[in-house]
Structure 1
Amino acid sequence: MTAISPEQPAILDLVTRLRAAELVAGAENKADQRSAIISALNGAVTLEFATIPPYLTALWTIRDERHPLANSLRNILQEEMLHLALVCNMLASIGGEPRINSAAPTYPGKLPLGVHPELTIPLGRFSKEMLQVFMEIERPAHIDPAHEIIDEEIGIDGHGDFTIGQLYGKILSAFQQLDPEFSQDRQVTGPLSWIPILSLEDVAKAIDIIERQGEGSIGRPEERRGHLAHYWRFAEMYHLQQLEKDANGAWRLGAPIEFDFDADVWPVANVPEGGYQLDEAAEPEARHLLRQFNLTYSKLLDCLQGTWSGDSGQAMILKAIEAMFDLEKYAKPLMQMRRPGGESNYGPDFRYIPAYEREGSSWPVMATNIGELSEPSDLLLRATPSGI
């Protein structure tokens, strides 16, 4: 992911305000307050999207796509897409526009806005090491001591330095201070976004959904009855044990989950910094799959950008769902191909290809007129909990 550099004083100032004070502290007028919120929300857009490629990569490396661990990870991905859509609706509600294709993350890299600065996010196979990273991404700022199950084993320092939940707490406080007028223009509802943002109550509800699904309810495993939050689902995967309530109502590791991190996972190597260069992929088929994957991924980002940047959002989000499903048909064959001179396989590198570099490719440059796009078919049906 693109790291924050010293040459970006405006971003560094935003990070300082997010971490040390109120987001709109020092803003001289409503316009400055609104600008600060839009900048923070765009950071949150990048943050929510940045989790999707590593989670998808890990999911695709599980050989049995119907395994309970695959189903759990798939559900997490669906909820991350919901979070992305809710943040984009928050942006649109105050006249902002998300930066998606122009701020595409690169891997390995850092999360934006100083969230979990100790972490470097790789792309690689489903493993205990990768699950440690995923848990740290989703880690709550505070965990009820009765439910703390992982600290003694996770190998990452700096717990709770600045968490996703704390970021959203700052954003909610800033909305409440600004008390803006809300607009429904360019907001999207449907399979990937449950609610439009039309009031401060809607902002609070959307942020509550994001926090509960990622971190849980007040440091506890369930975000709602019978449904574990992301952090604790990853804990189950890490330990290969189900979380269960004991007689006193406390959550403990219980029944084993049958899974072998070696035999049940494709041996995909971590993607090198900056991704694969096509000349590094000796096999023509590997070059083809890498290229087609990235062209499809670029279409996905363009469709997501168009969803909140034009007047055809509902149709564009259906095209984005279609592109997301298409990614798998290139990723899975690639993950079964050996890299030259090694014992590990290729994996997709999720590189955004600008439109001007797509000329002559087998994938057309994204249509600018929604009328040029084919009609969506059964995408609403496919975007259900059994999807992705």
Structure 2
Amino acid sequence: MSLHRITDLAGLHRHLHAAMQLEHATIPPYLTALYSIMPGTNTEAFDIIRAVAVEEMLHLTLVGNLLNAVGGTPDLTVHGFVASYPAMLPDGEEDFAVDCQRFSPEAISTFLRIERPADLDHGEKGGRTITRKKARGTVKAGHVGPETEEHFFSIGEFYKAIEDGLDRLHADMGEALFCGNPASQIGPEYYYSGGGGLIAVTDLASAKAALDLIAEQGEGVTDTIFDEDGEIAHYYRFQQLLLGRYYRAGDARDKPTGGPVPVDWKAVYPIKTNARLDDFTKGSDLREAALEFNSTYAIFLARLTCAFQGAPEEFIPAVGDMFHIKELFHRLMRQSIRGTEGLNGAPTFEIDRLKDDPE
């Protein structure tokens, strides 16, 4: 998906499609680390990662509402929407790739790169968006464009570009920019976590409120640890796990002074990083569980797509899908992979392979 400065409605739609893909691209790595934690251990870490994953689902929904509001059509089922891990993020950060791996210091370090504030090492980047050739392994969405695209240092800068584009187009088009059907908005009454800040987007003010909420929850544009509601940003939530201590009000960045955060890095299932179906023997329970996982996850994405495309009540059965997905995580992660030395299975998220080569 080629991303250039937003000057027209089609460009805004491309950026918002990429934003939905970006929000989703964080969920498989977060869930993989989360469910690799052995039950009854690392309760603090489990709560931190789970809370962030839930908020990423909120962000995905907010972007879907925004795309609907400006006349776009959210679709989480297009070929290439689900990343093939390891993958680079759709906003073009080139200095790291994202893996689906067990809970570990390496996983948390990657999560910190995903959620890094816009001003972190910003002087090194010059504070500017640059354009260069597409990096190998970059996540692609369903509509691939030319071989150059925007690259941002942080997710926050990417969303700032979207906000600037909204302002630019609104100055040209006025309220006609928000031409979508209000009935396609996902309201708090349908959202599985009971709302949690879910915003229906109908005009410029609500569009900016949705983008601000994403930023405040830690995706890169603020220089504070806590937002105005006292919630800690994602970057600093994860950082607590490496620093071994909670942040509290008044703390300086990188210097938490709260209570200890106990972490047992060994209390995890030894899952294979970036597992593939071909790692599992055909006919084995492990392979069957992986196939069932991919099928269930595809249904989950299809239900979300239906919800975004005018059937918000589909969010309700999606809740049941998530419970089944959790069970399949555990079924995979508790089984060793035949022919390996001490490695267990894990979801493969090969959704496109499910479509192209069903078994």
**1:314-329 alignment to 2 at 5 Å?**
314-329=312-327
Distance (Å, rounded) in 2 between the aligned partners of 1:130 and 1:355:
27
Q: What is the aligned counterpart of 2:73 among 94, 97, 100?
A: 97
User: Counterpart in 1 of 2:351?
Assistant: 352
The 3-state SS of whatever aligns with 2:246 is strand
User: Counterpart in 1 of 2:199?
Assistant: 195
Contact 1:88-1:98 at 8 Å conserved across structures: yes
Q: What is the aligned counterpart of 2:35 among 47, 50, 60?
A: 60
Q: What is the aligned counterpart of 2:178 among 177, 181, 186?
A: 181
User: Counterpart in 2 of 1:302?
Assistant: 302
Structure 2, unpaired ranges of 5+: 123-150, 171-176
Listed one character per residue, the Cα deviations across residues 285-330 of structure 1 (whole Å, up to 9, x for unaligned) are 1112111111111111111111122x3x222122222212210111
The 3-state SS of whatever aligns with 1:88 is helix
Q: Tell me, yes or no, if structure 1 residue 46 matches structure 2 residue 21.
A: yes
Structure 1, unpaired ranges of 5+: 1-10, 25-32, 146-159, 362-388
Contact 1:298-1:351 at 8 Å conserved across structures: no
Which moved further from structure 2: 36-45 or 189-198? 189-198
Distance (Å, rounded) in 2 between the aligned partners of 1:215 and 1:288:
36
Q: CA, structure 1 residues 333+306, in 2 after alignment: closer, same or farther (shift >3 Å)?
A: same
Shift of residue 202 of structure 1? 0.5
Q: CA, structure 1 residues 161+282, in 2 after alignment: closer, same or farther (shift >3 Å)?
A: same
How many correspondences in the alignment? 312
Which amino acid counterpart does residue 181 of structure 1 have in structure 2?
Answer: F
The 3-state SS of whatever aligns with 1:165 is helix
Q: CA, structure 1 residues 355+189, in 2 after alignment: closer, same or farther (shift >3 Å)?
A: farther
The 3-state SS of whatever aligns with 2:216 is helix
User: Counterpart in 2 of 1:111?
Assistant: 89
The 3-state SS of whatever aligns with 2:91 is helix
Instruction: Please report the TM-score for the alignment, with normalisation by the length of structure 1.
Output: 0.75
Contact 1:89-1:187 at 8 Å conserved across structures: yes
Distance (Å, rounded) in 2 between the aligned partners of 1:257 and 1:319:
35
Listed one character per residue, the Cα deviations across residues 36-85 of structure 1 (whole Å, up to 9, x for unaligned) are 10010000000000000000000001113671211111111111000000
Listed one character per residue, the Cα deviations across residues 272-292 of structure 1 (whole Å, up to 9, x for unaligned) are 4xx2227x3367211121111
Contact 1:45-1:99 at 8 Å conserved across structures: no
User: Counterpart in 2 of 1:364?
Assistant: none
User: Counterpart in 2 of 1:150?
Assistant: none
**1:274-293 alignment to 2 at 5 Å?**
275-277=276-278, 280-281=280-281, 284-293=284-293
Shift of residue 162 of structure 1? 2.1
Which amino acid counterpart does residue 165 of structure 2 have in structure 1?
Answer: A
Shift of residue 164 of structure 1? 0.7
Shift of residue 224 of structure 1? 3.4
Q: CA, structure 1 residues 41+356, in 2 after alignment: closer, same or farther (shift >3 Å)?
A: closer
Q: What is the aligned counterpart of 2:155 among 164, 176, 183?
A: 164
Which amino acid counterpart does residue 291 of structure 2 have in structure 1?
Answer: R
Instruction: Please report the TM-score for the alignment, with normalisation by the length of structure 2.
Output: 0.80
